[in-house]
A and B are shown apart, each in its own frame.
Chain A
Amino acid sequence: MDDTQRYERLRERFQNGDISRRNFFGLLGAAGAAYGLQMPFARQAFAQSDVSQVRFDGWGGVVSEAFRKFAFDPYTEATGITVIDGTFPGGDEYLALVRASQPGEYNIAHLSGVFDYARYHSFELNSELNLANIPNMANVMPALMNAFKSITPDSLSAAPYNYGTTGLAYNRKHISDEEMKEKGAKILIDETYKGKIGGWSDWRTRMWYAALQTGQDPNDIQDLDAAWDAVRKHRDVALKYWASGAELMSLMAEEEIYVTEGWSGRIHALQEQGHDIGYYDPPKSFGWQECLFVIKGSPMAACEELINFMLDKDTSIAVAEGQSYPPALDPTKVDLGEKIPKLPAFDATGTLSGLTFANPAYWNGNEAEWSKEFGRVQRGY
């Protein structure tokens, strides 16, 4: 008997005079209260069996537009499962939200970096994917998969999806290609451009570039004082720390700043819009890979289906072209078309040996100290 029949039977008893008006409304109120109380928990309980929607959180802007247009809408059309499309300005903010949430509230996240994969694992927010449900994973570059397997050897919580670099973006009206190649990362601490320099308000990126500016290996910084001095110098010549990809694009497009480090895909999107902006990856530029991470408590079957759909060759290529980041698909196995090989950071060998990635153990080990120190340094200390 469903709720409607229960209500009709109760109303009939009331109309027949079997129960008083007070009891009728009392029972209705009690039913309403019980329904209201059980709903939040029922949503969690039913999450695994009756899935009508999956929540996906990503970086917003052109990236989200590409996901929506080329992946989520076709997926919903094919399966009837709605994809709730959320955005976040940075990985740290998102992790704080997920930590404060109930299991099942957040499902799939477009996380950046292997260090994020390790962080989610350390907070026990990881799930276990059934790779048999994701046959398209076979086309993913082994180099990207191995990075995750080094953290969780027995299982995977995420599928690699794309990669890119955080290189140097510069306005060609004011800075020539030759000058950029000559100065490299040091252009971000060049007094000549004081007040026209930007930078991401992310402690990892600041320290990575400080390492490059002081001639050190970003994955093994020996002279920390020199690196922090470089961060301070950048702070003193910078006009603004940007906090999101949209802000980065706005600052460059409006010529508020002439040079900053920037995300390869976002800078490519600016170039596509007709802005005369150059992009240069200095030696040991900050390489990263992004993944589709399934968070603990999510409806696994639906999430795996969505991931498999997103890793499909046609979907993956369309999304990659839309967001301007090369896909995780192995170019030696899959024909990626003509446009993707021209994207910044593209690696035709499928080995990604030309890119320098952050060592998760090194960066996560220093996170507590360096993130706090950067908070002070950026305020003038």
Chain B
Amino acid sequence: MSIEQREARQPWILLTPALTAVTLLLIVPLMFIVVYSFWLKSAVGADTPGFFLDNWQEALTDRFYRDILLNTLKISAITTIACAALGYPAAYFIARSKGNKVVLLVLLMLPFWISYIIRTMSWINILGVSGALNSALMWIGIINQPIQMLYNETTVILGLVHFLLPFMVLNIFVSLDGIDTNLEDAASSLGATRWQGFLQVTLPLSLPGLAAGGLLCFVLSAGTYITPVILGGPRDAMFANLVYEAIIGQLDWPLGSALSLLLLMVLGVLVLIYNRYLGMAQLAKGLG
């Protein structure tokens, strides 16, 4: 075997474990879900194998699923905007801080050391009727009766922002950290105010990071299940909750498979649009 041939094979040899894992743990199970989505649920007993379009027809034409999907996308969009608004100043501060950047980044990563479920449940102790906020407000004398703050759409969004903010900050930080600060100085020397310099130089250059963070936050938010369960009221549900209810509550695995694939396709289209205009390389940088 020539050196060229050996060098050509090396990347594939190195990639083999990863490709095997992705195939066995992602592609094959996904194929099972695709096959399952065409089966039919039996009223009692095992499901009926075959090629039936009933589940897809229901998932695509039923107003109930469409409405919950649109509501999921709405909640995800609000969450993403909130993360961007809160995350950009924090990322800017970390990127421009001198000396203690590592400490700040470690602090940013600290929440990941605690279970997502525990972090979500912590809001019950903060916003609950006998939680920290109500207790403090009553102690100060601002209110006489506890305010009902939990179990609504706002607390669901709050929980999601709490969970996803670090992803946004990290992506924007990576983008800002790569911008040459001399560019801002150059803008100032040409007569721009600091605000103008930020708007016309820094912000446009950091947009890829903002977009990568936005995509991550949106996709993770749209696929979430546990936050509405813990912090939502009776009506608050996202699309993943419907998948859960179909598979677990109703034991309707075929319909649950179709619903999960529908969500996957909607989010896949968003990723494709992102890739078309911004490319996946920026996302890899942010995740790295």
User: Which residues does A use to contact B, with CB under 8 Å?
Assistant: 92-93, 95-96, 99, 119, 122-124, 195, 199, 203, 235, 238-241, 243, 250, 254-256, 364, 368, 371-372, 375-376, 378-381
Tell whether, in the assembled complex, residue B64 and residue A376 are in contact, meaning their CB atoms are under 8 Å apart.
Answer: yes
Tell whether, in the assembled complex, residue A375 and residue B234 are in contact, meaning their CB atoms are under 8 Å apart.
Answer: no
What are some 26 contacts across the A-B interface (CB < 8 A)? A92-B249, A95-B251, A96-B247, A96-B251, A124-B45, A199-B234, A235-B234, A238-B233, A239-B151, A239-B233, A239-B234, A240-B150, A240-B233, A240-B234, A241-B234, A254-B130, A256-B128, A368-B43, A371-B249, A371-B250, A375-B245, A375-B249, A378-B235, A379-B237, A380-B235, A381-B64
Of the candidates A95, A119, A203, A239, the one having the most CB atoms from chain B within 10 angstroms of its own CB is: A239
Q: Given the complex of chains A and B, what is the CA–CA distance between A124 and B247 in angstroms?
A: 19
CB-nearest residue of chain B relative to A371?
B250
A95-B251, A368-B250 are known contacts; what are 9 more A-B pairs with Cβ within 8 Å?
A96-B248, A195-B148, A240-B233, A255-B129, A368-B252, A375-B242, A375-B246, A375-B249, A380-B235
Q: Given the complex of chains A and B, what is the CA–CA distance between A239 and B43 in angstroms?
A: 32
CB-nearest residue of chain B relative to A199?
B234
CB distance from A342 to the nearest CB of B (A): 30
Q: For window 222-260 of chain B, which residues contact chain A by CB distance below 8 Å?
A: 229, 233-235, 237, 242, 245-252
Contacts of B252 in A (CB 8 A): 368, 372
Contacts of A99 in B (CB 8 A): 251
Contacts of A254 in B (CB 8 A): 128-130
Contacts of B129 in A (CB 8 A): 254-256
CB distance from A176 to the nearest CB of B (A): 20
Given A240-B151, A368-B41 in contact, is the A93-B128 Cβ separation under 8 Å? Answer: no
CB distance from B144 to the nearest CB of A (A): 15
Q: Given the complex of chains A and B, what is the CA–CA distance between A380 and B64 in angstroms?
A: 10
Q: Which of A92, A124, A199, A241 sits near B251, CB closer than 8 Å?
A: A92
Of the candidates A122, A239, A372, A379, the one having the most CB atoms from chain B within 10 angstroms of its own CB is: A379
Interface pairs A-B: 3 shortest CB-CB: A122-B44, A371-B250, A96-B248
CB-nearest residue of chain B relative to A195?
B148
User: Which residues does B use to contact A, with CB under 8 Å?
Assistant: 41, 43-46, 64, 68, 124, 128-130, 148, 150-151, 229, 233-235, 237, 242, 245-252
Q: Which of B45, B235, B237 sits near A123, CB closer than 8 Å?
A: B45
Q: Given the complex of chains A and B, what is the CA–CA distance between A71 and B29 in angstroms?
A: 39
CB-nearest residue of chain A relative to B250?
A371
Contacts of B44 in A (CB 8 A): 119, 122, 364
Contacts of A256 in B (CB 8 A): 128-129, 150-151
Contacts of B242 in A (CB 8 A): 375
Q: Given the complex of chains A and B, what is the CA–CA distance between A96 and B244 in angstroms?
A: 11
Contacts of B148 in A (CB 8 A): 195, 239
Q: Given the complex of chains A and B, what is the CA–CA distance between A381 and B242 in angstroms?
A: 14
CB-nearest residue of chain B relative to A376?
B64
Tell whether, in the assembled complex, residue A243 and residue B229 are in contact, meaning their CB atoms are under 8 Å apart.
Answer: yes
Contacts of A199 in B (CB 8 A): 234
CB distance from B50 to the nearest CB of A (A): 18
Contacts of A203 in B (CB 8 A): 249
Contacts of B68 in A (CB 8 A): 379
CB distance from A369 to the nearest CB of B (A): 9
CB distance from A194 to the nearest CB of B (A): 11
Q: Given the complex of chains A and B, what is the CA–CA distance between A123 and B47 in angstroms?
A: 10
Q: Which of A235, A241, A255, A378 sits near B130, CB closer than 8 Å?
A: A255
Q: Given the complex of chains A and B, what is the CA–CA distance between A239 and B229 in angstroms?
A: 13
Q: Given the complex of chains A and B, what is the CA–CA distance between A372 and B124 in angstroms?
A: 29
Tell whether, in the assembled complex, residue A92 and residue B248 are in contact, meaning their CB atoms are under 8 Å apart.
Answer: yes
Contacts of B45 in A (CB 8 A): 122-124
